[in-house]
């Protein structure tokens, strides 16, 4: 069979559609296979991120933060507001409109770049043929010179909390409630659990998060994690660590949970329960057995440093390969693979991929944590600058948190940046560039930052790493 396409991408999320668009921009005849069905029962693009993940959760976080600010912060600014009401259903409708516009936008981008959208489920056959089964069961086979898997991930389910209609739900199901449950349980106090717990706490729910690990946010810097736990607890989130759920039974419209911790066994009754215990790669039945595609015991497709599988010309990117399950990581891998297929040099710097939790305060980081540097015996210093000393943060009445910059004492190179505070998701981009270009604290110190801005805290923390911060008393830490 002659090659019908130069590139076929299987999966239409941030990794897949970016790979498809870049492939087309580089002059390759490209198709994208995707079978995601949206809320209206029709095929949509954008994958989990645009439809039931990143975008809808941020829409609800923004709406609920606006509501909370009106209720709790108006008087501080000299504004009196009477009889504030909240319409949760209207918030959900707004969220749905944003989701629809994002999905439509991706479709328009594919059309503009002349990418063919093959609606259906893709499956790799030998010789880089791709079998596409549409939603009516019709099967068609397409030939390609290159194939890119970008099939994403799905929420992990656990036997101790089986999903039930609208009572025990996963992260996707928690985006469509039209009212706030009086008592909400969340299994898992990671990124997704914290964001969804924050949404419903703001709307009036009594939220309890049960986290199996004994350390809060173990992937974050410990100092940042401790500060986050303090702030979230003060907001009203009940976070219980070392809490392993052993059973969840729905009775008379409520959920009766049993969980254990070092103190013994406990019970908890909630009106609704969200299960947020991680995600697993979507790799089941994506390739015919005779292709011999290597998939590890965790369901991740095995790839080399160029995202190529054990099959020449077959690649895998995003959540379906090992590494952080982050949309921007998958998108960057998609660009790199497209470039390499076109014969260009490209790589992903996995040491400079930022992580963000979009709660309030936001939590962001990139690079090494202080714990990792200690464990490796690195000769380092830390500069910490509190937002309490930031004029802009104080003017915003949002001065909790800090910026931490970690540097190598011999080279002055920045090794990690960790932020908890207002708009940290925007500030962290500057830190990512510093790591990407092997920047030093002196590079940041000698850069002029506008005043007053929140990003000045990054500047001051870089100065503080060498004991030169201006707006705090320096306490250089080694």
Average pLDDT of the segment spanning 307-332: 98
Q: How far apart are CA 83 and CA 460, in angstroms?
A: 42
- Tell me whether residue 471 is in a domain: no
With a cut of 70, say whether residue 477 has pLDDT above it: no
- Quick one: pLDDT at residue 2? 64
Of 348, 374, 389, the one marking the end of a domain is: 348
CA-based end-to-end distance of the chain: 64
Cβ partners under 8 Å of residue 112, min gap 6: none
- Tell me whether residue 162 is in a domain: no
Confidence of residue 475 (pLDDT cuts 50, 70, 90): confident
- Quick one: pLDDT at residue 165? 85
Quickly tell me which residue has 């925007």 as its tokens.
426
With a cut of 80, say whether residue 222 has pLDDT above it: yes
Confidence of residue 421 (pLDDT cuts 50, 70, 90): very high
With a cut of 70, say whether residue 306 has pLDDT above it: yes
Q: How far apart are CA 202 and CA 65, in angstroms?
A: 7
Q: How many domains does the chain have?
A: 3
pTM (predicted TM-score): 0.96
Using DSSP, state whether 435 is helix, strand or coil. helix
Looking at the structure, do residues 265 and 294 belong to the same domain, yes or no? no
Looking at the structure, do residues 324 and 257 belong to the same domain, yes or no? no
Report in angstroms the alpha-carbon separations of 235 from 57, 78, 122, 359, 414: 19, 22, 45, 11, 33
Report in angstroms the alpha-carbon separations of 128 from 17, 125, 177, 459: 19, 6, 43, 51
* Token code pair at residue 313: 């010309």
Q: How far apart are CA 425 and CA 360, in angstroms?
A: 11
Read off the CATH number of the domain in which 447 is found: 3.30.390.30
Confidence of residue 428 (pLDDT cuts 50, 70, 90): very high
393: left (phi over 0), alpha (psi -120 to 50) or beta: alpha
Average pLDDT of the segment spanning 268-285: 98
CA dihedral sign, ordered 106, 112, 118, 123: negative
473 HSE (CA, 13 A, CB side): 0
Please check whether residue 305 is in contact with residue 174, taking contact to mean a CB–CB distance below 8 angstroms.
Answer: no
Of 277, 308, 328, the one marking the end of a domain is: 277
Q: How far apart are CA 20 and CA 28, in angstroms?
A: 9
Q: Which residues pair with 208 in a beta bridge?
A: 185, 238
Report in angstroms the alpha-carbon separations of 258 from 110, 197, 240, 333, 358: 48, 19, 13, 42, 29
Please check whether residue 232 is in contact with residue 240, taking contact to mean a CB–CB distance below 8 angstroms.
Answer: no
Looking at the structure, do residues 401 and 451 belong to the same domain, yes or no? yes
Looking at the structure, do residues 369 and 387 belong to the same domain, yes or no? yes
Q: Is 266 a catalytic residue?
A: no
- Tell me whether residue 475 is in a domain: no
Determine the structural domain holding residue 220 and report its residue range: 168-277
Looking at the structure, do residues 146 and 285 belong to the same domain, yes or no? yes
Average pLDDT score, the chain? 97
- Quick one: pLDDT at residue 3? 73
Average pLDDT of the segment spanning 178-188: 98
Looking at the structure, do residues 27 and 116 belong to the same domain, yes or no? yes
- Tell me whether residue 478 is in a domain: no
- Quick one: pLDDT at residue 1? 61
33-84 pLDDT, tens digit per residue, is 999 999 999 999 999 999 999 999 999 999 999 999 999 999 999 999 988 9
- Tell me whether residue 103 is in a domain: yes
Q: How far apart are CA 473 and CA 430, in angstroms?
A: 24
Q: How far apart are CA 295 and CA 303, in angstroms?
A: 9
Using DSSP, state whether 19 is helix, strand or coil. helix
Length, in residues, of the chain: 478
Looking at the structure, do residues 341 and 362 belong to the same domain, yes or no? no
Q: Where are the beta strands (DSSP E) in 188-232?
A: 206-210
Looking at the structure, do residues 293 and 147 belong to the same domain, yes or no? yes
- Tell me whether residue 386 is in a domain: yes
- Tell me whether residue 305 is in a domain: yes
* Token code pair at residue 43: 């095929």
Average pLDDT of the segment spanning 301-325: 98
* Token code pair at residue 367: 């690079």
Read off the CATH number of the domain in which 229 is found: 3.50.50.60
Q: How far apart are CA 442 and CA 428, in angstroms?
A: 18
Of 253, 277, 301, the one marking the end of a domain is: 277
Options 328, 347, 451, 459, the catalytic residue: 451
Average pLDDT of the segment spanning 271-290: 98
With a cut of 80, say whether residue 476 has pLDDT above it: no
- Quick one: pLDDT at residue 478? 61
Q: How far apart are CA 444 and CA 430, in angstroms?
A: 9
Measured from the Cβ of residue 332, the count of other Cβ atoms closer than 10 Å reads: 22
Looking at the structure, do residues 190 and 242 belong to the same domain, yes or no? yes
Provide the greatest CA pair distance for the chain.
Answer: 73
Q: What is the DSSP letter of 298?
A: T
Please check whether residue 237 is in contact with residue 207, taking contact to mean a CB–CB distance below 8 angstroms.
Answer: yes
Please check whether residue 204 is in contact with residue 234, taking contact to mean a CB–CB distance below 8 angstroms.
Answer: no
- Quick one: pLDDT at residue 258? 99
Cβ partners under 8 Å of residue 437, min gap 6: none
- Tell me whether residue 194 is in a domain: yes
Q: What is the DSSP letter of 352?
A: G
Looking at the structure, do residues 29 and 139 belong to the same domain, yes or no? yes
H or E stretch at 224: helix 222-235
Looking at the structure, do residues 139 and 200 belong to the same domain, yes or no? no
Looking at the structure, do residues 21 and 139 belong to the same domain, yes or no? yes
351-405 pLDDT, tens digit per residue, is 999 999 999 999 999 999 999 999 999 999 999 999 999 999 999 999 999 999 9
- Quick one: pLDDT at residue 171? 97
Q: Which pairing describes strands 139-149 and 129-133: parallel, antiparallel, or unpaired? A: antiparallel
Report in angstroms the alpha-carbon separations of 308 from 96, 225, 285, 337, 341: 36, 36, 19, 8, 10
Average pLDDT of the segment spanning 171-190: 98
Quickly tell me which residue has 């299994």 as its tokens.
187
């Amino acid at each position: 069979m002659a090659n019908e396409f130069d590139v076929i991408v299987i999966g239409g999320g941030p990794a897949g559609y970016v790979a498809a668009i870049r492939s087309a921009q580089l002059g390759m005849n490209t198709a994208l296979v995707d079978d995601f069905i949206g809320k209206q029962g029709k095929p949509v693009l954008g994958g989990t991120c645009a439809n039931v993940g990143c975008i809808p959760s941020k829409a609800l976080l923004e709406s609920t933060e606006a509501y909370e600010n009106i209720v709790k912060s108006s008087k501080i600014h000299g504004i009196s507001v009477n009889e504030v009401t909240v319409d949760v259903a209207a918030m959900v409708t707004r969220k749905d409109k944003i989701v629809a516009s994002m999905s439509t936008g991706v479709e328009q981008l594919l059309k503009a770049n002349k990418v063919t959208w093959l609606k259906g489920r893709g499956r790799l056959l030998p010789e880089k043929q791709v079998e596409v089964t549409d939603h009516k069961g019709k099967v068609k086979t397409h030939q390609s010179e290159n194939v890119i898997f970008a099939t994403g991930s799905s929420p992990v389910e656990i036997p101790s909390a089986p999903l039930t209609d609208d009572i025990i739900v996963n992260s996707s199901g928690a985006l469509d409630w039209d009212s706030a449950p009086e008592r909400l349980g969340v299994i898992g106090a990671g990124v997704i659990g914290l964001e969804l717990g924050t949404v419903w706490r703001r709307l009036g729910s009594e939220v309890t998060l049960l986290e199996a690990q004994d350390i809060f946010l173990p992937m974050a810097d410990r100092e940042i994690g401790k500060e986050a736990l303090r702030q979230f607890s003060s907001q009203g989130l009940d976070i219980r660590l070392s809490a392993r759920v052993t059973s969840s039974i729905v009775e008379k419209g409520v959920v009766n949970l049993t969980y254990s911790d070092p103190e013994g066994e406990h019970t908890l009754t909630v009106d609704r329960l969200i299960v947020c215990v991680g995600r697993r790669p979507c790799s089941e039945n994506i390739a015919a057995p005779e292709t011999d595609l290597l998939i590890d015991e965790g369901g991740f497709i095995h790839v080399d440093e160029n995202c190529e599988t054990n099959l020449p010309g077959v690649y895998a990117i995003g959540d379906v390969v090992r590494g952080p399950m982050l949309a921007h990581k998958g998108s960057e891998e998609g660009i790199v693979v497209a470039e390499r297929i076109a014969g260009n040099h490209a790589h992903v710097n996995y040491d400079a991929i930022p992580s963000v939790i979009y709660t309030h305060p936001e939590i962001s980081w990139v690079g090494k944590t202080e714990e990792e540097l200690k464990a490796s015996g690195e000769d380092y210093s830390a500069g910490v600058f509190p937002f309490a000393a930031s004029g802009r943060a104080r003017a915003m009445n949002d001065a909790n948190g800090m910026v931490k910059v970690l540097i190598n004492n011999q080279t002055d190179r920045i090794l990690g940046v960790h932020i908890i505070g207002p708009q940290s998701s925007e500030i962290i981009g500057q830190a990512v560039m510093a790591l990407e270009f092997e920047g030093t604290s002196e590079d940041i110190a000698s850069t002029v930052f506008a005043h007053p801005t929140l990003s000045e805290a990054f500047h001051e923390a870089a100065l503080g790493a060498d004991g030169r911060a201006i707006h705090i008393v320096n306490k250089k830490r080694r």
